[in-house]
Amino acid sequence: MMGQELFEHPRRQYREYGIEVIDGAAQLLSAPEDYESGNASEESLDALEAILKRYPDLAVTFDEAAGEWIAGTEDSVERMFADREKFIAALEAGEDPGL
């Protein structure tokens, strides 16, 4: 489980999990829900396609906690989000979250 320092600073988690911030993507891409609903602009769709080509073997997703688009192996990204959820669940249950 991640410690409090990593939890409080989502961008620091990326190094720990081997995940990369996609620089400039937050300015180029629409909100994730725009892609799901079909409301993304043509420019945003083109930017997403270019990013997916740049990271063909990695999962590309949006990290709401940091407000960043990120790329990493699917396992790494899933593990990071799962560790965050475990951390929050431990706090909500009044347990030691592994500090």
Q: What is the pLDDT of residue 5?
A: 64
Please name the residue ranges forming H helices in the chain: 4-8, 10-17, 25-28, 32-37, 42-54, 74-92
Residue 2 has pLDDT above 60, yes or no: no
pTM of the complete model: 0.85
pLDDT at 96: 77
pLDDT digits (tens, 9 = 90+) for 19-52: 999 999 989 999 999 999 999 999 999 999 999 9
User: pLDDT digit string (tens) for 66-92?
Assistant: 899 999 999 999 999 999 898 889 888
Has residue 53 got a pLDDT over 80? Answer: yes
Neighbours of 38 (CB within 10 A): 7
The mean pLDDT value of the chain amounts to 89
H/E run at residue 99 = none
Using DSSP's 3-state secondary structure scheme, residue 20 falls into strand
Cα separation of 74 and 66, whole Å? 18
DSSP 9: -
Report residue 21 as tokens: 């911030």
